[in-house]
Amino acid sequence: MIRHIFLGKARAEATPEQLEELCAAWRSLVGQVPGLRSLVAGRNISPRDQQYTVALVADLDDMEAWERYMQHPAHVEISQRLTSQLIRSDGRAMAQLVMEGQ
């Protein structure tokens, strides 16, 4: 299993409502993308570190499923319509971790 982690810094003009719309759109991908087991997303509520505004954690079957997820039309549409408009291009971090025994 692969765990995909995305962290994003919102653009200054992004509203809380727009960021919630983005997170809801990400969450809607479960059931649409083959191999996407689960996905949680939300706004960062940490009182200690506000470097990133939103986070996403998704579990996928394997790296092939991650590639399908990244290229899936629903994911691409969300990326173009919301992510690119609300998240700074210089404020993104991503990692994929192998989850042994999962």
pLDDT band at 9 (very low <50, low <70, confident <90, very high): very high
Could you tell me the fold of the domain covering 2-98? Alpha-Beta Plaits (3.30.70)
pLDDT band at 101 (very low <50, low <70, confident <90, very high): confident
pLDDT mean over 68-77: 98
What pLDDT, in 10s, does the model give residues 39-64?
Answer: 999 999 998 888 999 999 999 999 99
Task: Please list, in sequence order, all residues whose beta carbon lies within 8 angstroms of the beta carbon of residue 78, skipping any fewer than 6 positions away.
Answer: 22, 25, 26, 29
Q: Which two tokens stand for residue 65?
A: 């499923």
Domain parsing of the chain, residue ranges:
2-98
Q: What is the residue-averaged pLDDT of the chain?
A: 96
What pTM did the predictor assign?
A: 0.92
The Cα 20–Cα 41 span in angstroms is: 9
